[in-house]
Amino acid sequence: MPAPPDPLCWLRAAAGARAAAGLERSLRPRDARCRDGVTDLASNDYLGLATHPEVTGAAAAAARAFGAGATGSRLVTGSTTLHSTLERELAAFLDAQAALVFSSAYLANLATVTALAAALNAGQQNGAPPCPAGPGDGRGGPVGTLVVSDARNHASLVDACRLARARVEIVAHQDVAAVEQALARRPEPAALVVTESAFSAGGGLAPLAALHRVTRAGGGLLVVDEAHALGVVGPGGRGMAAACGIAAEPDVVRVVSLSKALGAQGGAVAGAAEVTGTLVDSGRGFIFDTALAPPAAAAALAALRLVAADAALACHTRANARRLASLAQRHGLAVIPPGAAIVCVTLGDPRLAVTAQRICADHGVLAGCFRPPSVPPGQSCLRLTARATLTEDEFRAAGQALAAVARHVRSASPVGRKRP
């Protein structure tokens, strides 16, 4: 009998291939001590609220009052008054009819796309009248939902599309005409158009107003992931849908993260009552998951109140991002103009991005390093994130680190190496 295959041997071979391509990853746990002398340009704590005393105090009080964990799923014992207050205040802040809190935005994306696609199909089968602008006749014609997804969407949206029992068309990044065409030629009566507003792996902004126009004309629903926009983009950090004046539109569904600018943990969906109702009844990530822990819900609520009370926080963060981008440009580095807090310095080669991250660390600057699959092949980058609370000393440290990165990039490029 031949020896059975050794699965771990295959895993080692795959790990070797990843390492050879510069794509291995490792964990670098941080301790709880204050990071004196370290400039954090890597975290998503855009407003510096993760350690704000009102936020941490609210989390501690909630842990004492409700317990460390939620004790059950939302529909069993996991919904507390903290969750319902957070949902009410999030809906008001986002100018939405309703909001629903999840244990993560990743899960909120999965639940939203899969449950909406399934319910749109079920609605057609149950004899709902056809959408007047849609191509299907809704009466004996084809039944189904098309999901149109931007090619640079976050992994959680990619996975959501994969899990949705629907045909998915991936369209070129920020290509409104491609979305319009996909909608126009579809045989399915229903459609979802799925995009980030502030792209996490590039920092650019989606053409949201135009996307909404073509989505509405095509009889679809626009699902907007505002994970990196909440607290940073739009009036008072209300997101890009608010900036475009489409926040209250019934065909706009927003997913936000409570784990980034709010400095807490979790996610939420904001939209029409029909949308949140669909998720309560059939969102698998809502029903079959332990609810967001009460300390996280309380922290998010406290942070949301701080954001709502200070419209300048979002402006400061965006201004600091533009300042970081111009520092990088001054040293000849290629930067995508930031629309939110994220500043991506494109380096191309994943190994170069890893080296740039190490150079930053050597200068006391924590920077992110995005490589495939977070970005397309050939577009690895150093990813810097601005914070509302960045100090002059931190900008100085960033400038020195970026100057050293630029020197390394020049010396590593064929043209740079030829220089005397």
Ligand X SMILES: Cc1ncc(COP(=O)(O)O)c(C=O)c1O
Compose the 1-40 pattern: x for residues touching ligand X by CB under 6 A, - for all others. Answer: ----------------------------------------
Binds ligand X (CB under 6 A): choice among 39, 79, 80, 104: 104
Which C-beta is closer to ligand X: that of 150 or that of 180?
A: 150
Q: Which two tokens stand for residue 288?
A: 């079959």
Residue 154 interacts with ligand X (CB under 6 A)? yes
What the block records as the tokens of 179 is 């979305």
Site for ligand X in 228-287 (CB under 6 A): 228, 257, 259, 267
Smallest gap, in angstroms, from Cβ of residue 333 to ligand X?
23
Out of 121, 149, 156, 317, the only residue in the binding site for ligand X (CB under 6 A) is 156
Measure Cα distances from 399 to 116, 152, 319 in Å.
46, 29, 16
Which of 196, 249, 289, 394 forms a contact with ligand X (CB under 6 A)? 196
Kindly state whether residue 194 participates in binding ligand X, applying the rule CB under 6 A: no
Of 375 and 401, the one with the shorter C-beta distance to ligand X is: 375
- Told to check if 195 binds ligand X by CB under 6 A, we report no
Q: What letter would DSSP give residue 73?
A: B
| 3-state helix, strand and coil shares in percent for the chain, rounded to the nearest 5 | 45, 15, 40
Binding residue for ligand X (CB under 6 A) from 105, 262, 291, 335? Answer: 105
Tokens of 356: 């740039």
Q: Using CB under 6 A, count the residues that bind ligand X.
A: 14
Q: Which of 362, 367, 359, 336 is nearest to 412 (CA)?
A: 359
- β-strands 39-41, 252-257: how paired? unpaired
User: In whole angstroms, how close is the CB of 227 to ligand X at the nearest point?
Assistant: 4
Burial class of residue 405 (count of CB atoms within 10 Å of its CB; 0-12, 13-18, 19+): buried
The answer to whether 146 and 183 have CB atoms below 8 angstroms apart is yes
Residue 197 near residue 239, CB atoms below 8 Å:
yes
Shorter beta-carbon distance to ligand X: residue 109 or 320: 109
The residue ranges that bind ligand X (CB under 6 A) are 104-106, 109, 154, 156, 196, 200, 225, 227-228, 257, 259, 267
